[in-house]
Structure formats: C-alpha cells, structure tokens
Amino acid sequence: MKLLRYGPVGKEKPGLLDDAGVLRDLSAIVPDINAEVLSDTGLAKLRKLDPATLPRVKGTPRMGCPVAGIGKFIAIGLNYSDHAAETGSPIPKEPIVFMKAISCIQGPNDPVMLPKGSQKTDWEVELGVVIGTRARYVTQKEALFHVAGYCLVNDISEREYQLERGPQWDKGKGCDTFGPIGPWLVTRDDIANPQKLNAWLDLNGQRRQTGNTKTMIFGVAKIVSYLSQFMTLMPGDVITTGTPPGVGLGMTPPMYLKKGDFMALGIDGLGEQRQSVVPFKR
C-alpha cells in the first residue's frame, strides 16, 4: 500500500494511492496516518479495503509528510562507503547517529528555505524507514518486522553549521524545511528488499546523485537493531539511513544550494520529490 497525507499545511487528511495511481480519501476510515494505523493491526485493516470504494480526491492537492505525529527523526551519517570517501571521512565502525529536529519536517514538494546567512546548504537523497511497532533491544533477524514501511527523504544539511561549528552534527541538520518526507509511505510488504533500491537526485536538471541501497555500510535491519539498543523506537518514528555519493560537499570545488535552484529526487517505488530553493524569511 501507498499511504499519504494531503491538503494544506496543518490540515492534512489521510489518503491512499491505489494501483492505478488514483488518490483516495481515507478520512472516513482513519483519523490520520498515525501510530495506531502504522501498527500491524492497523495496516491489516487497511489492506482489507477495496480502494475503489473510497472517495476519489479531485485535482492535485499538496502532499504533506505521510506520517503524522512523528516522535523521533533519527538519522545515520556516512552510511555509504563511496559517500564517506568523497567527504574525506573514514569508514565508520559503527553507525553514526544524529537527530533531525521534528520542526524541520515538511511535505515532499514544499520549498526548501536557506537558513539566515547560509552559504553551504547541501542535498542528500535518502531511504527513510518508518517504525510500526515498538522496538527495544531487537535482533537483526527481528528488526524488519518492526518496520511499517519506507519513504523518500531529502536530508538537507548546512555544512558549515554541521562541520565547522563544533562536533555535533545536529545544528546543521534540523533547520526549518530541512526534512522533506514523502510523497507517500510504502508498506513493507510492497518492498521485497530494502537493500536493492536505486536512488537519484537532480539539481537544476543535472544528475548529481546516483546510488543503490545495496552499497550501504549498515543495512536497514542492522540500523533498526542497533538503534534499539540505545533508545526505544516507537510507532511513527522515522529513520533516515544515509546518502550515496554526489553531494555538493564532495564536488571539486564544492557546490551548494542557492536561491532559485530546483531539486528533483527519487527512490525506486517510493515516488519523487520536487523542491525549489528560496531565501530565508521569518
């Protein structure tokens, strides 16, 4: 299933994209795409529905983040060996973990705003993992059963804030608009293998990133299991799992986002995002 949320900011409704690509309204069935819906029981209930019986949504409404009430937005850094190489960083021995502020979360096609005075804002196409059932000290063998589904994430990053203003990455990762998620969540039963997905990102019509999740240093099962040793993962938590090579930081000379730029990105089966870059405004 492809689950989503559509409508104006703060007034999103739950929806489903059927096999023909038609947007269907779920608001008479569930209040939102929340923790209850993301449980195995909640998803099983939705799978029993005949999408053709659901109201068709007219037009092309704005897409919001496909998950409501995200409690934690957790990220993994330098998780592709070729990306680590392009940044001049050693291969991590354990997953590098940081947090993205939930206030940075937005819809997949909403504009990305440059922070005030920013000169080094960068792009990162990533596979997102949405937790469906509580995970605490789970094994790698168990880990994927705690996943509700997968989504597309653009892990926007301000490199000066991240790398030049102290050892903590968080301050360069959580600025407003730095967390586009969606357009939809694809349930885990529709993704045969999360380690065989192609990812790409274009900047102003030129391909910048090309990769495949098979080259992750730490796969999804390892990441979920690893994180569950340090924090309880709750339904609705989102984990973004690292980016393949081709970021602006790794170019010679480095290239960063500027006002008027346009990003398009996608992952197999998870849809596409399209974002314009706008200047800072209060």
pLDDT one-digit tens code per residue, 34-71: 999 999 999 999 999 999 999 999 999 999 999 999 99
Write the DSSP symbol of residue 115.
P
Give the E-state strand segments of the chain in sequence order: 2-6, 13-17, 23-25, 73-77, 96-99, 105-106, 112-113, 121-122, 125-131, 147-154, 157-158, 179-180, 185-187, 198-203, 206-212, 238-240, 262-267, 271-278
pLDDT attached to residue 58: 95
**Range(s) for CATH 3.90.850.10 in the chain?**
73-278
pLDDT attached to residue 208: 98
The DSSP element (H or E) to which 36 belongs, if any, is helix 35-38
pLDDT attached to residue 167: 82
Q: Model's pTM, two decimal places?
A: 0.96
pLDDT attached to residue 108: 98
pLDDT attached to residue 89: 83
Residues (pLDDT < 70) of the chain are none
pLDDT attached to residue 180: 98
Task: Name the residue type at position 222.
Answer: K
pLDDT attached to residue 168: 83
Using a 10 angstrom Cβ sphere, with 0-12 exposed, 13-18 middle and 19 or more buried, the burial of residue 124 is: buried
pLDDT attached to residue 82: 81
Contact between 248 and 114 (Cβ < 8 Å): no
Domain 73-278 has CATH 1.10.150.20: no
Burial 215-240, CB ≥16 within 10 A → b, else e: ebbbbbbbbbbbbbeeeebbbbbbbb
Distance of CA 231 to the CA centre of its chain: 20
- pLDDT (tens digit per residue) in 195-221: 999 999 999 999 999 999 999 999 999
Contact between 183 and 128 (Cβ < 8 Å): no
Write the DSSP symbol of residue 222.
H
Length of the chain: 282
SS3 content of the chain, % helix, strand, coil (to 5): 20, 30, 50
pLDDT attached to residue 276: 98
